[in-house]
Amino acid sequence: MRTAIEINRLCKTYRGSKTPAVDQLTLTVPEGAVFGLLGPNGAGKTTTIHILCGLRSFDSGEISIAGYSPKRRWKDIRRRIGFVPQDIALYPSLTAYENLQVFGGLMGLRGKLLKNRINELLHLFGLEHGKHRLIEHYSGGMKRRINLIAGLLHRPEILFLDEPTAGVDVQTKNLMLDNLKTINREGHTIIYTSHYMEEAETLCTQIALIDGGKTICTGTPSGLIAQTKGCDKLEDVYLQLTGKKLRDE
């Protein structure tokens, strides 16, 4: 199987910090997987995703995204990835449609293709009726859905989702996860972080549990549950491997 992402001994220490945020992290994400990057607060999940999306520099190690090394080919990588950040990353004073036009347009979509893609995704996520309302007038769940659509417009080979369902109601979460599964079935690789273990268990085909910037374990959800003694769900595995101590970032 081809790999979508290859991370080898990746290190990143923020300026002014003594402990590394990412410490010799090594991971392989197969193409077509829904890869869950799980861990407690401050484990290094968001830093890893930010490095993979080109938002942060890294100190050492090697990464390859969609077969390209970011040292030389960021432009090519950016055309192949989609990023859905943890916070809502939209223009509040623009309508949903205008936001999607801008982000889709920047990803190279034009004319009818752009229009059709926007309408198709708005329909898929149940937002076709409110598309001409300003984002600032949207509810939290609606903003989350538009936030997700903005990362999907150009049908990226690799989609990075940083806690995409944080703070949404059960109905919205179900709709989002169902659509993500559909998107994955179409061949898109998804890298996903979340604190909802149940959600990760149903969505992910592969999981990496990280803590302190290091990989603790990797495998399929069912495989990890089976490997860890006395655990019958992913949350038990998570607590057993990362401990119950509170984490302050």
Q: Is 89 in the site for another protein (CB under 8 A)?
A: yes
SS3 content of the chain, % helix, strand, coil (to 5): 40, 25, 35
Q: How far is the CB of 168 from another protein (least distance, A)?
A: 17
**Binds another protein by CB under 8 A, chosen from 2, 72, 75, 112:** 75
Any bridge partners for residue 192, and if so which?
36, 161
Which one, 160 or 238, has the nearer CB to another protein?
160
User: Using CB atoms within 10 A of its CB, is residue 44 exposed (0-12), middle (13-18) or buried (19+)?
Assistant: buried
**Binds another protein by CB under 8 A, chosen from 30, 32, 102, 196:** 102
How far is 136 from 122, CA to CA, in rounded Å? 17
**Binds another protein by CB under 8 A, chosen from 1, 2, 15, 129:** 15
Q: Using the rule CB under 8 A, give the single segment among 93-101, 170-178, 197-205, 231-239 that binds another protein.
A: 93-101
Sheet of 34-38: strand order equals 81-84, 158-162, 189-193, 34-38, 206-211, 214-219
Q: How far is the CB of 102 from another protein (least distance, A)?
A: 4
Q: Is 118 in the site for another protein (CB under 8 A)?
A: no
Which one, 40 or 151, has the nearer CB to another protein?
151
**Binds another protein by CB under 8 A, chosen from 9, 19, 41, 92:** 92
Letters for 24-63 (x = contact with another protein by CB under 8 A, - = none) are -----------------------------xxxxx------
Q: Which DSSP string corresponds to 189-224?
A: EEEEE-S-HHHHHHH-SEEEEEETTEEEEEE-HHHH
How far is 32 from 77, CA to CA, in rounded Å? 17
Q: Is 148 in the site for another protein (CB under 8 A)?
A: no
Q: Is 155 in the site for another protein (CB under 8 A)?
A: no
H helix count then E strand count, the chain = 9, 9
Q: Is 113 in the site for another protein (CB under 8 A)?
A: no
**Binds another protein by CB under 8 A, chosen from 36, 70, 85, 213:** 85
Q: For the chain, how many residues are written?
A: 249
Q: How far is the CB of 243 from another protein (least distance, A)?
A: 28
| Residue 185 host element (H or E) | helix 170-185
Question: Any idea what the Cα angle at residue 245 is, between residues 242 and 246, rounded to 5°?
Answer: 110
Q: Is 105 in the site for another protein (CB under 8 A)?
A: yes
Q: Is 212 in the site for another protein (CB under 8 A)?
A: no
- Report how many residues bind another protein under the rule CB under 8 A: 34
**With contact defined as beta carbons under 8 Å apart, do 213 and 40 qualify?**
no
Q: Which residues bind another protein (CB under 8 A)?
A: 14-15, 53-57, 75, 78-79, 81, 83, 85, 87-94, 98, 101-103, 105-108, 110, 134, 150-151, 160
